[in-house]
Each structure stands twice: as C-alpha cells, then as structure tokens.
Chains A and B, each alone.
Chain A
Amino acid sequence: MFTGVFSQFLAFTPRRSVTTYVIGILCVALGLFLRWAFIPLIHSATHLYLFLYVAILVSSFVGGLRAGIVSLVLSFFYILFATLTQPLGDLDGSMELRLTIFSTISLLSSYILSYIKNSYHFSMSVLNNLHSFVAILTPSGRFVDVNQSLLDTFGVSRHYIIGKSIFGNFPWKFPTAVSQQLKRALADANRGRSSRLDLKVVFSSQDVLFLDCQFAPVFDTQHNVVSVVVSASDITSRVNAERDVNKLNQSLQQKLSELNRSELKFKRLVSSNLIGVIVATLDGQIVEANEAFTAMTGYSQAEIEQGKLNWSAITPDEFKEADQRALTQLRDHREAQPYEKEYLRKDGERLPILLGIALIEGSEDKCVAFVVDITARKRLEKRKDEFIGLASHELKTPLTSIKVFTQLMERSLATAKDEKNLSYLLKIEKQISRLSSLVEDLLDVSKIEAGKLSLNYERVDLNQLVDNSVSAIQAITEDHQLTIEGEIRETAWVDPYRLEQVLTNLLTNAIKYSPKASQVVVQMEETPTEIQMRVTDFGVGIPDSQQTRVFEKFFRAQGKNRHSFPGLGLGLYLSKQIIDRHGGSIWLQSQEGKGSTFGFTIPKKGNVYYEKHHYGG
C-alpha cells in the first residue's frame, strides 16, 4: 500500500533525470550559501533549519517531489555533519528528534507543494488539450484564463486576451441578439445559475463560428460567485450540416409534393377512363391497365393481373412492322410518335386504335402508353372512302357513255367534213378526258385508303416508258419543250401503268406550274440497285412553308396573291403512294420564283418485301 501511495506521489513529479538531482543539490547549496552570507547577522541552529527548509520547499516547487527529496537527504546529512563537527549555538536537546521533525515536515511540505503545483499543471494541461473551449471569467466578464484550443481557434495570444472584457474589441464580433444573450448568461451566472446558449461568432474574415456554450458560476466557501467558467464546443459543422439537411429536406418536400401533384394528375387521367392507359414491358407483357383499356379490349383486370395479356399477342401480323418501328423510336428517343394500329379484342373482333408510347422515367424496358379507340373515326373514314369509291364509280359510268357517243359523233362529223362542229366536239372530248382522269384519281385514292391499290409488276424498259409518257404529254402541250437527259441501261421491275401515272402527273404539274417558261427537263440516272428520275421546271416554285405538305392528300400549292391552280390536289399524293409502294422515295427541291424539281428513286428489283407480305408473293 505504501508503494502505491508513494508511486502516486511520484506521479506528480517529473521523471527521474539529471535535472531533478541538479535542482535538488543547487537548492540546498543556495540555502547554505544564503545562510553563510547572513551569518554575521543571524547565527543560530534555528536559522540553519529554516534556510534548509526553505531550500527544500523551493527545490520541491521547481523540481518536483523527487528534487525535494534529494534536497531533504542532502540537508539531513549536512545538519548531521555540522552538528557532529561543531556545536550550533543555542539549540540544545535531542538532535535526533529535531532532525526527525525537520525531515517529516520537509517531506510533507515538499509533497503538498509539488502536489499543488502538479495538480494545477495537470488541470491546465487537461484544459489545454480539450477540444472544447474553456474560459474563466471574472463575475464582470473579464478573461482570467482561457485554454489553448480557444486561443488557437480565435487566433489570439493568452497575453492579448487576459484581462479584457468578453464584450471588448476583438477581431470578431457577436450579432446584437447574441450580445444580449451573453449578458443574460453572465447575469445568470452571477446569480448562481448555470445557463446554456448557442453563440454565433462572426470573424472579421467573414468566417462564422457556431458555439454551444455553458456559463457556470464558481463559488467560494461562502457561496459567493468568484468567477464564471465558460465552456464551449464548436458546433459549426453540425449547424451547417443541419442547415444543409434542412435545405435538402425542404427541396425534397417540394419535389415530393410536385411528384404528388403530377401523380395525382396522372391518376386522374388514368381513372377518368377517357382513354386507355397501360403500363407494359417492351417484350409485350401488359403490367397494368385502366378500365377504359379493359372495356375496349374485352379483357379483364384479373387476366392482366395474372400477366396473361401480351400486347404483341393481341396485335394482328400486319401491324408488327409498325410496332417494330415504334420500339426503335422508343429505344432511340424514349418515346414513339403516336401511330394507328389494331388490337384483337378478346372476342376476335379488330379494334382500331391510336397508340402513343413513352418509356417510364428511369426504366429501360417499361413503358406507359395511351390507347385511344378510333373505331368511330375509322368507320366514318371507311364510309367516306366507300362513298368516294361509289361516287366515282357512278361518275365513271355516264362518262363511259358520253365518251362513246362523242367518239361516234366525231366520226360522223369527220365524214361530213363539218370542221366547225368537229372543233367544238374536240374541246368537249378534252374536258371529258380531264373529268375522267379526276374521277380516276378519286377512285385510286379510295383504293389506297381501302388498302386495295395493287401493283402489277413487269420487267420494264424504263427508257421506253419515259419516252412514251413524254411523247404523250408533248402531244398535248404547245408552249413547253420537254427534253430527256440520261438513260437507264437495265430494265426494272415496276408497275408500268402506275409509274407512267407518276411521270404523267409530274410532267403535267411541271407544265401547269410554269406558265411562263418554255422548258421541262426529265433526267434519268441509275445505280446498280436503283433508278432515279427527276422532272425539273422553271416556273413559280413552291414556298418553303408549303414544301413539306405537297405530298399530302388534297393539298394544293398556292402561288403569289393566293392564286391557285386547278386540280383536286391528289396527283402528288397518289404519286407518293405509288412510289412508296414500289419501295422508293419521292422528294421535292424548289425555290419560289425559280422553279421546282420533283425526283424519285425506286429499286430495280421492285418492292419484294411488301408484295410478299401483302399479296402472298
């Protein structure tokens, strides 16, 4: 136990070192020197004890307990030696007793002194090594002491800060509200109450520090407040983090409510059942569908929930190609242009629909699609097409009659050499031809709309075909010179009747839209797989704004001053349909006031794919 207590004593002493012994020896030497220096004035054994006692205290204070013990041992032996060699004046009695008392008192004093010193040193070093800030203030708020981490963080020296008031001028300041809080906390401490507050400190460099502070009173034995201890921890990163979290939270809340709102809108759209809405995977599985969808297709929610419904399986074969195109668009652009197709209802009936698809945000294989039932529109379109078909057929019948009779009359007049009436009749015939070609166009359109336009492919010498078309048109035009440039060496698989229709159409257009020009050029070119033809006029041209629409049904180009040219606006539409069906493409290059070039390409081998899939090869 003694060893334990002693080692605890020694814990307060610096480690054993030469310095310790030197201090112990030097202090005793100094004490003896001072005593010797004072001998003429004071000369007694009492003084020897006194000087050595002081020397031991100094030694303990400066060098710690170990140095004190060294001094004590030295003093002990010196007194012993001095007493034995020469009498020491006025002190009598037992020298052993005096030495024992001296040693005990010295040892205790030495211990207490070094304990006090070291425990102060210990406390200060604990404080200085604290991460928190500690300041000891007078009750009025002046700094008595501060720890190292406060000095480091606030960038001031101990010398600078000690004695100043916390409200004094520093390279930092507190916001007004905070100063008020500080005053209150100090006043509370003076009343003996601890208080806690958050401080905001603004440095002159604009850096901001947030502190969590505690003001605590320190009492003396009479319970008077003698000082105030302020401990504070830096909570800047916590405050900043909290602020960031708050901000994040706020924006998250906002996003969530936006999301909620948009989800509500979407839900409303889905539940309104105005249109069919489905969620499906790209490989066909329909995952969700609203009532509008189930109602129009005849399938049940249960079938969808069981994963039994596949959009690919309920699509008739002829729409698979359109579906593939939509899938390609989806992969490339995340959405597909709305397109028309058909689904097979559960009862086997076909359901014409308009379908728009978009990939779901953040998903690569799930899409949301709207499905609009267009049965009514299709029915109406069908009736319209049937009407056009019927009407033009009905128109054609009297035309056939009229044509027969005019031709008969023409023969009679020719035989009778009635030139005047014959010329009138020729004018009538010309108008009949025009009328019958308009009716022919209308019939063609109705066939296209009904999907009944079929091509009769033949191996055709295109030079011959172009020659025929150009000659036929040249025969009825007087103002324009039609020229052919280039030639095509290989024959091609085309429908000669339809291709001639296209050429005739482009040529009559070229003439019609260049009333003041005198030339129309037909150019022919070929590649190993394709032929290309271009018809160029030097007429009014087509404004940029109208160029994309010229191939639309019933579209008619308008010249300057809204001057329009006669026609139904079907020729270019039909031409495009015919070229498309040949597997080719048709285009326009035009400059208003300069003229237009209509060109098309078609493959030499015909549109093998289309015919195979639509007419069984």
Chain B
Amino acid sequence: MKNIIMVVDDDPGILEALEIVVSEIGYDVVPVSDAHVVVEEASKAMPHLILLDMFLSGMDGRDVTKALKLNPATKDIPVILMSADARVPEKSVEAGADGYLKKPFDLEVLEHLLSRFILQPKVTPST
C-alpha cells in the first residue's frame, strides 16, 4: 500500500496538477477542494501528509492548519502550506505548519520536501 498524501486546493487546475504530480512521484492522492471538509476528510483518510493551499476560498489555509493541529486525530499529520506569497516561510511557521512550498515550484523541490517527512514512497513511481 502506498503512502497517502492529501492535496487541498480550491483551484481545479492546480488540484489536478498536484494530484497527477504527486501520484507520478508515487503516492496515493486524496484530493480535496473544499476547505471546510479538510479536518473531517483527514480524520477519515488519515493521510501521511497534507499539502494545503494557504489561500482557499472561504477559509484561510492557516486556520485549517490550526484546526488540524487541535484535533487529536489529525494533530500528528505533517502539514505543508503552499502559496505564491513571498512570505510563505514565516506565515507557515506562524500557523504551526511543518513545512512550506512556494508556488510555482520545481518538481525536485517537491520531491525533496516530501521525502523529508515520509522517508520514501512505498512503491517506486511507475514511469
């Protein structure tokens, strides 16, 4: 069984791209586009990592992060905040996230980041 990564973005284009790229790297992907259901979905799917967009329509990714960290079921799941904002590093730390990803990103950067939290995909990516 592959490691599961939850990807949260309200932009369908980005969500699709992330879904493809993360599964290409070799993970199972749980895509979520509605910020309000993230905690609920995460408690159900129990992903190994959550890639969370910082600016979601209707809810701030940082508030979602705080909610995840307050929930006993999800508090140990690493959260990586994504944003095009140049100040994403500090903002992520402030929100209590475990890492950050600045958009647009290079594939190598994403791979490296994921490997920091999850030692490796359980199954090598199929190409």
Interface residues of A (CB under 8 A from B): 393, 396-401, 403-405, 407-408, 411-412, 415, 436, 443-444, 454, 456, 497
Q: How far does the Cβ of B112 sit from chain A's closest Cβ, in whole Å?
A: 14
B104 close to A (CB within 8 Å): yes
For B21, give its contact among A396, A398, A408, A436 (CB under 8 Å).
A408
Q: What is the CA–CA distance of A400 and B21 in the complex, to the nearest angstrom?
A: 12
Q: Which residue of A lies closest to B21 (CB)?
A: A404
Q: List 15 A-B contacts (CB under 8 A).
A: A393-B84, A396-B104, A397-B11, A397-B14, A397-B84, A398-B13, A400-B103, A400-B105, A403-B105, A404-B107, A405-B20, A407-B106, A407-B107, A408-B107, A443-B84
Q: Which residues of B contact A497 (CB under 8 A)?
A: 86
With A400-B103, A408-B24, A408-B107 already in contact, the answer to whether A415 and B13 are too (CB < 8 A) is no
Taking A405-B20, A407-B106, A497-B86 as known contacts, 16 extra A-B pairs with beta carbons closer than 8 A to each other, sorted by chain A number, are A397-B13, A397-B84, A400-B14, A401-B16, A403-B104, A403-B105, A404-B20, A404-B21, A404-B105, A405-B17, A407-B107, A408-B20, A408-B107, A411-B107, A412-B127, A415-B127
Among B11, B84, B87, B105, the one with the most A-chain Cβ atoms within 10 Å of its Cβ is: B84
Centre residue among A397, A398, A405, A456 by max chain B CB count within 10 A: A397
Whole-angstrom CA separation of A393 from B106 in the bound complex: 18
Task: State in angstroms the CA–CA spacing of A456 and B16 once bound together.
Answer: 33
Q: Contact between B104 and A400 (Cβ–Cβ < 8 Å)?
A: yes
Q: How far is the CB of A586 from chain B (nearest CB, A)?
A: 20
B77 within 8 A of partner (CB): no
Out of B16, B18, B87, B104, which one reaches A399, CB within 8 Å?
B104
Residues from chain A with Cβ under 8 Å of B103 in the complex = 396, 400
| A403–B89 alpha-carbon span in the complex (Å) | 21
Q: How many A-B residue pairs have CB under 8 A?
A: 52
B93-110, CB < 8 A from A: 103-107
Which residues of chain B are within 8 angstroms of A403 by Cβ–Cβ distance?
104-105
Are A404 and B87 in contact (CB-based, < 8 A)?
no
B87 touches A454 (CB 8 A): yes
Tell me the bound Cα distance from A443 to B90 in angstroms: 19
Contacts of B13 in A (CB 8 A): 397-398, 401
Select from chain A the residue with minimum beta-carbon distance to B86: A497
A412 and B87 alpha carbons, distance in the complex (Å): 33
| A401 interface neighbour in B17, B84, B86, Cβ under 8 Å | B17
Q: Which residue of A lies closest to B87 (CB)?
A: A454
Q: Which B residues are CB-close (under 8 A) to A393? A: 84
- Assembly CA distance A7 to B71 (angstroms): 141
Q: Give, as a whole number of angstroms, the nearest-CB distance from A394 to chain B.
A: 10
Shortest Cβ gap from A570 to chain B (Å): 15
Query: If the complex has contacts A407-B107, A408-B24, A408-B107, are A400 and B17 also in contact, measured as CB distance less than 8 A?
Result: yes
- CB-CB contacts below 8 Å: B12-56 with A: 13-14, 16-18, 20-21, 24
CA distance A407 to B107 in the complex (A): 7
For residue A436, which residue of chain B has the nearest CB? B104
Instruction: Give the top 9 A-B pairs by smallest Cβ distance, nearest first.
Output: A404-B17, A400-B104, A401-B13, A403-B104, A401-B17, A407-B107, A400-B103, A396-B84, A397-B11
In the assembled complex, the Cα of A398 lies from the Cα of B21 at a distance in Å of: 15
Write out the residue numbers on chain A whose beta carbons fall within 8 Å of the beta carbon of B16.
401
> Nearest A residue to B127 by beta-carbon distance?
A415
B59 → chain A closest CB, angstroms: 17
Distance, CA A412 to CA B125, complexed state (A): 12
B residues less than 8 Å from A401 (CB atoms) = 11, 13-14, 16-17
Among A396, A407, A415, A456, the one with the most B-chain Cβ atoms within 10 Å of its Cβ is A407
A397 to B82, CA, bound (A): 12
Q: Of A399, A401, A497, which is in contact with the most chain B CB atoms at under 10 Å from its CB?
A: A401
- CB neighbours of B104 from chain A (8 A): 396, 399-400, 403-404, 436
A415 surroundings in chain B (CB, below 8 A): 127
Task: Give Cα A96–Cα B104 distance, bound, in whole angstroms.
Answer: 160
Q: Which of B14, B16, B103 has the most CB of A within 10 A?
A: B103
B102 to chain A, nearest CB (A): 10
From residue B114, how far is it (CB to closest CB) to chain A in Å? 14
Chain A residues within 8 Å of B127, by CB: 411-412, 415
Bound-state Cα–Cα, A18 to B21, Å? 149
Find chain A residues with CB under 8 A from B90 CB.
Answer: 456
Shortest C-beta distance, A490 to chain B (Å), equals 25
- Whether A456 contacts B17 in the complex (CB less than 8 A), given A397-B11, A407-B107, A408-B24, comes out as no
In chain A, what residue has the closest Cβ to B107? A407
List residues of chain B with CB within 8 A of the CB of A405.
17, 20
Which of A404, A444, A497 has the most CB atoms of chain B within a 10 A radius of its CB?
A404
Instruction: Report the minimal beta-carbon distance from B126 to chain A, rounded to whole angstroms.
Output: 11
Measured CA separation A393–B86 after assembly (Å):
12
CB-nearest residue of chain B to A410 = B107
* Chain B residues within 8 Å of A456, by CB: 87, 89-90
Chain B residue nearest to A439 in the complex (CB)? B84
Chain B residues near A454: list those with CB within 8 A: 87
Most buried by B among A393, A403, A412, A497: A403
Task: Give chain B residues whose Cβ lies under 8 Å from the Cβ of A398.
Answer: 13
The smallest C-beta distance from A582 to any residue of chain B, in angstroms, reads 16
Q: A415 to B107, alpha carbons, bound, how many Å?
A: 15
Complex-state Cα separation, A400 to B18, whole angstroms: 10
Complex-state Cα separation, A436 to B102, whole angstroms: 13
Q: How far is the CA of A535 from the CA of B84 in the complex (A)?
A: 30
Smallest distance from the beta carbon of B7 to chain A beta carbons, Å?
A: 12
A570 to B111, CA, bound (A): 33
Residues of A with C-beta under 8 A to B24? 408, 411
Taking CB atoms, residues of chain A closer than 8 Å to B84 are 393, 396-397, 400, 443
